[in-house]
Structure 1
């Protein structure tokens, strides 16, 4: 499981940084993996309205957004932390939000669903210097539609007024309890899931499909991981096409090594699909092998057969949990 933080303030070690760090610390203490994108350090160009995303579901601008799209897809929870600049997010953070139009287009123009759309959550942390009652109206609307674009439900916010000088957030009388309660609430539905690692050789076809189906059909029961004993450079384009036929979006996924995955998360179950003796031993993890042929290099008809067999097995696995 991944909780992704988007640090929207250009100021280091300021009030926004403190608030997000406090939130992520609570998440980590629950045993959950976190990652923070510091927006100010990323090369994120503003949307230039090429409209390629509307037609093809990709953005032609060459910058760091592909990396961020991948993290937005992987995350179970996305947390935006931002100060108020003219009743909304700072320009660099707003650029990231605007560029999420690519994910919106994949969902609403191309009719492709993020495998995690049923369980993905979004949460807002925001603060501003003034006391105005309308201070957070703009950012709440922006967050609502951003989270919808990235296939996350907007689960709420923590907002703080009259936060101006460095250190004001640390002095706030309720912030520690606020963050503790919010983190507990947002994690509650995730922590009882079985953590299952689907493993194959390249992590480009079988294990990717299995983890996507598990997330799609049983994300409330399964925390799906995937890895390969010898990961490929990219996922298989024929696999992407075959999954698109099911309406499941596999864009922005990246092959990972099994060792990389288990170094960050300890699975309860490892289901292998061809990596055989190269799969690592994880103490306490139950091992299971699915006899599935490798569709790499095969035509799409072969890929469809493997896809459909994986789907059936995932449904059976879900029903057994």
Structure 2
């Protein structure tokens, strides 16, 4: 499982960073794959309110946010960490939040379902220098709607007042232990899921559909990934169209190699999509061969037929777990 940290403080190794690092370290200790994005040092421009995301379903600004979108979709848990600046998050974090309108549009304008939305969790870590009664209210509300936009359920927050000097959070009597306990509480339920890796040659069509359907129908008990022995540069556009007809959002999915899938852990089962002689085998891991014809380069009608066949196979396989 994958935990994504969003570190919004411009202060290097400050209190926010310490809290988030503690959370991610505990998640890794438990067996999660983690990634910590230093948002304050990323090139993320503010939203220009151009309206492209609501008209076409994507953000046209070419900056580091284009790297963030896929990670938000891959994550099982997203942890937003920010100090309070004028009763809100930092400007750097706010830019990332605003640019998430592109994901909001896919759900609420185009009415597409992100397969990971059913189980993905979001959590807030925050510190503030003052002891104001409403110090965290604005940021907490913003976090709630940010997580909704990116397809995560808001699981609450750990917030700490009167923390200002660099490293002061280490002097707090309970903060670091509370963060570790929260990490354990959030991560542990994900660890018992069966890991399935769907494999085809290019990871552009069949295995992408299979992984999306598996996430959608069984993400609470299945951890899903897909990969290819010779990954293509991008997913099949006709496949995306066919999946949109089912209401499934395939945005920000990219073909990847077997090696790129490896950090997410050894699978319990490999499902090869009709490429047994090409796709590599994993010693000690059972392999199912589905022998699904490759619809690439074929008609939309054939793509729909393969799509429906894969969904039926996935649904049947989930029923056996």
Q: What interval of TM-score do these two structures reach, taking the shorter chain for normalisation?
A: over 0.9
Tell me if structure 2 keeps the 8 A contact 1:26–1:183: yes
> Structure 2: how far apart are the matches of 1:251 and 1:78?
18
Find the residue that maps to 2:253 and give its secondary structure: coil
Moved more, 277-286 or 75-84: 277-286
Which residue of structure 1 lines up, in the alignment, with residue 301 of structure 2?
301
Which residue of structure 2 lines up, in the alignment, with residue 59 of structure 1?
59
Tell me if structure 2 keeps the 8 A contact 1:198–1:271: yes
> Structure 2: how far apart are the matches of 1:239 and 1:202?
13
Shift in alpha-carbon separation, 1:119–1:143, aligned structure 2, 3 A: same
Post-superposition shift, 1:188? 2.9
Unaligned runs of 5+ in 2: none
Which residue of structure 2 lines up, in the alignment, with residue 234 of structure 1?
234
Shift in alpha-carbon separation, 1:263–1:144, aligned structure 2, 3 A: closer
Post-superposition shift, 1:181? 1.5
> Structure 2: how far apart are the matches of 1:312 and 1:252?
24
Post-superposition shift, 1:275? 3.2
Tell me if structure 2 keeps the 8 A contact 1:258–1:279: no
CA RMSD across the alignment: 1.1
Tell me if structure 2 keeps the 8 A contact 1:189–1:220: no
Question: What does 1:121-160 correspond to in 2, within 5 Å?
Answer: 121-160=121-160
Question: What does 1:168-187 correspond to in 2, within 5 Å?
Answer: 168-187=168-187
Find the residue that maps to 1:3 and give its secondary structure: strand
Post-superposition shift, 1:259? 2.2
Unaligned runs of 5+ in 1: none
Tell me if structure 2 keeps the 8 A contact 1:259–1:280: no
Post-superposition shift, 1:176? 2.7
Post-superposition shift, 1:262? 2.2
Q: Displaced runs of 4+ in structure 1, greater than 4 A?
A: none
Find the residue that maps to 2:240 and give its secondary structure: helix
Which residue of structure 2 lines up, in the alignment, with residue 222 of structure 1?
222
> Structure 2: how far apart are the matches of 1:179 and 1:263?
24
Find the residue that maps to 2:45 and give its secondary structure: coil
Shift in alpha-carbon separation, 1:283–1:30, aligned structure 2, 3 A: farther
Post-superposition shift, 1:282? 2.5
Deviations 1:11-34 (A, max 9, x none): 111111111000000000011100
Which residue of structure 2 lines up, in the alignment, with residue 276 of structure 1?
276
Post-superposition shift, 1:308? 0.3
> Structure 1: how far apart are the matches of 2:91 and 2:20?
19
> Structure 1: how far apart are the matches of 2:164 and 2:119?
35
Give the TM-score normalised by the residue count of structure 2: 0.98
- Aligned pair count? 321
> Structure 1: how far apart are the matches of 2:70 and 2:154?
20
Tell me if structure 2 keeps the 8 A contact 1:268–1:284: no
Deviations 1:25-65 (A, max 9, x none): 00000111001111122111101110111111111112111
> Structure 2: how far apart are the matches of 1:176 and 1:13?
15
> Structure 2: how far apart are the matches of 1:145 and 1:89?
13
Which residue of structure 1 lines up, in the alignment, with residue 164 of structure 2?
164
